[in-house]
Amino acid sequence: MTDREQIEKQLREAQAQAEADFAAADSPQTLYEAKTKYLGKKGAVKAILRGLGGLSAEERPLIGQIANEVADALEIVYDARLDVLKRSESEAKLAQDSIDVSFPGTWPVRGARHPLALMLEEIEEFFYSMGYDIAEGPEIEQEWYNFDALNIPADHPARDMQDTFWMKNGGVLRTHTSPVQIRYMQSHQPPLRMIAPGRVYRCDSDVTHSPMFTQVEGLVVGEDVSFRHLIGTLEALLKHVFEDSIEIRLRPSFFPFTEPSAEVDLRRAGGDWMEVLGCGMVNPAVFESAGYDSSKVTGFAFGLGIERFAMIKYGIRDIRLFYENDVRFLRQFR
């Protein structure tokens, strides 16, 4: 064997040995170490090339070319092996911190509708489906809208400091939603059907009275609106909100803005009569306040408190529960 053949054989053997070492490396780290062992400055290939001293000037480039081929081939094998090792390393990592789909999760806390929102929605749905408009008015109201226009005289007890939150400028926190009747009639012409839900305020507080509560006003005006229409409407409403089996009765009553006036009671089978709302035929004086000709139109009106409705429907004894937002109370309306 010539020197050249000898060196070429050494190079090929080193290449085969390096390829075997690369294949045996089990991590990028050991693979890199193997690469250095053959291709590094102090590596086996360099050591072989250092032994070229005995070769002729024609032979040296030939051996150099073979050495380059070996180095290039080893780089390719190295890169391929590095790829494989990196991939299995990341796969092992993934397998380790994989997600256990059988592990019990934490539930997001689900909210519930507020009972007053539920009740209001039920009432609004009922009237909306019958073609009523849903109107609103201001909670800070002028004395005239809250009282005078509704035929509530200056010496009426409702105007007393005891019952009404007066503002320094003479305005009031509206004590009922009835002033929306006037505002609505001022901006609409008959025939009309509307309800006006909203907050109202009174100086009053115990288990069944809150200084702020929520009413729904109703007003229907036309040429031949009668007391029968009022009774039929309220009966349908109450059977929709409560049960079909409830009994209803009307008691004569008095409100300055209606004439005649009545209070409506309901009773469940075996239960006691419970007062649920006030109503009546619109007093002609109210039509005049709103600018209507009271000889041409008639109408009925009613006013109800949705807290009272919700207390009866859901069996709630203390009105304050509606405003405290205790989740143990609210969750029950899911």
Is residue 225 within 8 A of residue 163, CB to CB? The reply is no
Is residue 192 within 8 A of residue 184, CB to CB? The reply is yes
Report the residue from 22, 78, 147, 302 that binds ligand DAH according to the rule CB under 6 A.
Answer: 302
The yes or no reply on residue 141 touching ligand DAH (CB under 6 A) is no
Scan for tokens 């006037």, then name that residue: 182
86's tokens: 């990196």
Q: Which is nearer to ligand DAH, 201 or 255 (CB)?
A: 255
Query: How big is the site for ligand DAH, counted in residues (CB under 6 A)?
Result: 11
Position closest to ligand DAH via CB: 303
Residues 47-86 that bind ligand DAH (CB under 6 A): none
Q: Which is nearer to ligand DAH, 164 or 178 (CB)?
A: 178
Q: Which is nearer to ligand DAH, 15 or 146 (CB)?
A: 146
User: What count of other Cβ atoms lies within 10 Å of the Cβ of residue 199?
Assistant: 12
Residues 242-281 that bind ligand DAH (CB under 6 A): 255, 258, 278-280
In whole angstroms, how close is the CB of 102 to ligand DAH at the nearest point? 59
Site string for ligand DAH, 168-207 (x = CB under 6 A): --------x-x-----------------------------
Q: Which is nearer to ligand DAH, 48 or 180 (CB)?
A: 180
Bridge partners of 248? 266
> Can you tell me the distance from the alpha carbon of 4 to that of 64, in angstroms, rounded to the nearest whole number?
11
String of DSSP letters for 254-310: EETTEEEEEEEEEE-TTS--EEEEEEEEEPHHHHHHHT--TTT-EEEEEEEEHHHHH
The yes or no reply on residue 301 touching ligand DAH (CB under 6 A) is yes
The yes or no reply on residue 210 touching ligand DAH (CB under 6 A) is no
Q: 218 in helix, strand or coil?
A: strand
DSSP state of 108: P
Nearest in space to 280 (alpha carbons), one of 297, 264, 296:
264
> Can you tell me the distance from the alpha carbon of 302 to that of 185, in angstroms, rounded to the nearest whole number?
15
User: What count of other Cβ atoms lies within 10 Å of the Cβ of residue 184?
Assistant: 21
Q: Which is nearer to ligand DAH, 7 or 279 (CB)?
A: 279
| Candidate ranges 52-60, 114-122, 221-229, 295-303; the one touching ligand DAH (CB under 6 A) | 295-303
Q: Which is nearer to ligand DAH, 190 or 280 (CB)?
A: 280
In whole angstroms, how close is the CB of 326 to ligand DAH at the nearest point? 28
45's tokens: 């290939």
In whole angstroms, how close is the CB of 155 to ligand DAH at the nearest point? 18
> Can you tell me the distance from the alpha carbon of 78 to that of 18, in angstroms, rounded to the nearest whole number?
9
Strand 247-255 with 258-267, pairing: antiparallel
Residues found near ligand DAH in the complex (CB under 6 A): 176, 178, 217, 255, 258, 278-280, 301-303
